[in-house]
Amino acid sequence: MFKKSFTKCYLILVLSFMMLLGAIVPGVAMAQTAKGTASGQQTKVKTKKSLKLKLDNNVASMTEKRTLHATFKLPQGVDVKSLSWTYDGKPLSQWKKYQDRDYTGAPFITVSHVKVTNGKVHANINFDLPYDTDNLSEPRLQRPLYASLMGTYDLAATVNGRVVAHAPVKLTPYDSFRTYDELKPEIDAVTAKAAQKNNRYIKTTSIGKSVEGRDIYLTVLAKDKASVDKYQKVTHPAMLNDPKKLQADIKSGAFGDYKVPIWLNNIHPNEAPGVDAIMNYFKSMALDKSMTYDTVLPNGKKSKTTLNIDDALKNVFFLFVYTDNPDGRVHTTRSNAEDFDLNRDNSYQTQPETRSVTEQIAKWSPLSFLDMHGFDSNFLIEPSTPPHNPNVEYDLLIDHMVEQAKAMGEAGIANTKYNYYHIPYEEHRKTAEDPNYVSKGTASGWDDASAAYTAAFAMYHGAMGHTLETPESNEESTKALYYSSAAAAKYVAGKKEELFLNQLKIFERGVNNIDDRAVDHYLVNAKNEEIGRPRQGNQNFFPEYYVLPVDKNIQKNVLETYKMVEYFLRNGVKVERSTKAVTVNGKTYPAGSFIVNMHQANRGLANLVLYDGIDVSDYEMIAGEIIQNFHDMRGFDRYVIRNAGVFTGKTSRVTSISFPGTKMPKRSAYVLIQNTNNDAIKAVNELLAAGKT
């Protein structure tokens, strides 16, 4: 017993001494090098008696020339002239600039001004621009090359191959850049700090998974939890169900305190500044008391303005979706892992990412929606050029959208090197009004005729939907989006009631199924002639009902009909089901038919995917030739009913949907699979793969 105890104590003493020695003597350490610049993964290599290399900055930027000042104690007997330098275990001479489509140029990392003072080595480590540009979005760099360089690697001073001093240096596209894997830890760290500092309400959840299984994060930031709860449980239901009464209650003061949501979004993660601007702005809203920044007055002079964050949070709360496309952030691609451009899929919703995000847009109906993009040759902020989609209540949105765009643009250029921003809608308007006007920006081909784009899609939920395009991929463009976001919040917070009442008017038109002729003025052909909504001889552009039967006598594609109902429920469109057969104009719709009553807040979205569409072929160019009429594209029958009240008292509300199964015949020589949809093709392929004939 004594012997065992003595041995145990002796081992503890020895281990304690070794730990103490390691703490006192720097050099019983590990130097990190990377496997290679393509992966950025790190391995550890043992070195003997290496010293810590002190740096005044541990971050090197690919878009900003930077000199890091390094110092370390010169080991005894070492001649400073014998020092060599490595990064990631490779001589600096091997870190070459990108030239002639390969890394064959001059080294972009060099050492200068090496000297010894009082036994310490002083040196400048110079990081030049590896791509000889401060803009990583140049066409020659498409599919972003920066991923092949970025990572945290060891910068080391060596003698005869032995590391004598080292320190990690992060090589990043620009200072604010985060990889996807860095996002959630930073969100959590900011949230924890905010809880100690100012107790603002912050909640981050995963709203869905990408194709490759990564989380899509949404952060809610508000003054307190009660503000968010009231919006979700009281305000939002009232917006959709009785917007007219809510307007009256707000005007009279009976509704009391309320906040409205501002959504910041990114969908193309290779347009990298968008992701990082959202994260930077989240940090400011979570941790700071105020933001002071420059803006430009109407006389062209700069002026300071301050966003008091606590005051703003009395009127607004924020929804941050750092990127809809996590896989794209990981692989530095515009598309998702299925090679879909998600910003062409918001109305179709074929991809898991767009289904997750659009479901949340329906859940929150944000008042202001900012989608962060790049790269236009100029700093660009929507609203868009014609043609506009007739299902949007454009007259109620456009004036405030232009005002907000101008506020964002002025802040964006006042705090960056950029000196001009353009608004496509305004460029088109000026060009149409004055034949001699020379547009600096985009006067055509930047339209919102399609709801496939995230910001345009948000407009169907009453949002002021803005796409923001930066000209470059660097810190400066990140700042432009950051300060634009601040200006957007200040604009909404300062005009909350006016803007919210306006949004409620959009929903009121829906609930009452009003076709207001004020919209017609904004619907023009390529000659800028007013053509209005395509009513096709009807008094109301919108029908009273759409009927989606499931009886095979009048429905050629039952499965796609059920899918359409699922789509509507996910997107906040109310659906009913008939409890008895109804005959209208000589046609009988059997009991069990799905009914979309167009007297509802989101009738514009319902009509978007069920009407026949518009003809824009007279335009020389449009942003995307994207057809929305699902009944034609997906092959199901839908019926238009213009008779008011014919289904009143004959339906029940649908709150969930389950797909009917297929009954296989017990005895049959053959099974007929109708080639009516993609699922039929998938079934045949699976049967063939299983060896069936």
pLDDT bucket at 299, cuts 50 / 70 / 90:
confident
User: Residue 341: how many CB atoms within 10 A of its CB?
Assistant: 17
pLDDT digits (tens, 9 = 90+) for 301-355: 889 999 999 999 999 999 999 999 999 999 999 999 999 999 999 999 999 999 9
Contact (CB, 8 A) for 34 and 43:
yes
pLDDT bucket at 674, cuts 50 / 70 / 90:
confident
Residue 30: pLDDT above 50?
Answer: no
pLDDT digits (tens, 9 = 90+) for 447-483: 999 999 999 999 999 999 999 999 999 999 999 999 9
pLDDT on residue 25: 33
pLDDT bucket at 144, cuts 50 / 70 / 90:
confident
Candidate from 192-206, 598-612, 618-632 with smallest mean pLDDT: 618-632
Q: What would the two tokens of residue 346 be?
A: 């918001």
Task: Mark out the alpha helices in 42-130 (DSSP H runs).
Answer: none
pLDDT bucket at 183, cuts 50 / 70 / 90:
very high
Q: What would the two tokens of residue 54 be?
A: 């002190």
The overall longest dimension of the chain from CA atoms, in Å, is 105
Between 171 and 142, the more confident residue is 171
Q: Any bridge partners for residue 292, and if so which?
A: 306
pLDDT digits (tens, 9 = 90+) for 394-449: 999 999 999 999 999 999 999 999 999 999 999 999 988 888 888 777 767 899 99
pLDDT bucket at 595, cuts 50 / 70 / 90:
very high
pLDDT digits (tens, 9 = 90+) for 208-232: 999 999 999 999 999 999 999 999 9
pLDDT on residue 115: 96
Residue 32: pLDDT above 70?
Answer: no
Residue 537: pLDDT above 80?
Answer: yes
DSSP string, 518-546: GGGGG-B-TT--B-----TT-S-SS-SEE
Cα-Cα-Cα-Cα dihedral sign, residues 111, 115, 119, 124:
negative
Strand, helix or coil for residue 306: strand
d(CA 105, CA 95): 9
Q: What would the two tokens of residue 290 be?
A: 């105020």
Residue 185: pLDDT above 80?
Answer: yes
Q: What would the two tokens of residue 416 be?
A: 């960056």
Contact (CB, 8 A) for 585 and 598:
no
Report how far apart, in Å, the C-alpha atoms of 27 and of each of 18, 46, 49, 125 are: 13, 10, 4, 22
Residue 41: pLDDT above 80?
Answer: no
Q: Any bridge partners for residue 468, and if so which?
A: 372, 381
pLDDT digits (tens, 9 = 90+) for 633-669: 999 999 999 999 999 999 999 999 999 887 777 888 8
User: Residue 644: how many CB atoms within 10 A of its CB?
Assistant: 12
Q: Which residues contact 544 (CB under 8 A, 6 or more apart)?
A: 513, 597, 598, 599, 641, 642, 643, 644, 645, 646
What CATH number was assigned to the domain covering residues 200-228+258-511? 3.40.630.10
pLDDT on residue 3: 38
Mean pLDDT of 527-536: 96
User: Residue 384: how many CB atoms within 10 A of its CB?
Assistant: 27
Q: Is 445 left (phi over 0), alpha (psi -120 to 50) or beta?
A: left
Q: Any bridge partners for residue 262, and if so which?
A: 318, 368
Strand, helix or coil for residue 107: strand
Residue 28: pLDDT above 80?
Answer: no
Residue 181: pLDDT above 80?
Answer: yes
Kindly give the interhelix angle for 558-570 and 352-364, rounded to the nearest 10 degrees: 50
d(CA 485, CA 494): 14
d(CA 230, CA 248): 18
pLDDT digits (tens, 9 = 90+) for 258-280: 999 999 999 999 999 999 999 99
Q: Which residues contact 413 (CB under 8 A, 6 or more apart)?
A: 296, 379, 419, 420, 421, 480
- The mean of the pLDDT values for the chain is 92
pLDDT on residue 512: 98
pLDDT on residue 533: 98
Between 674 and 589, the more confident residue is 589
pLDDT digits (tens, 9 = 90+) for 539-579: 999 999 999 999 999 999 999 999 999 999 999 999 999 99
Q: 30-172: which CATH architecture?
A: Sandwich (2.60)
pLDDT on residue 49: 59
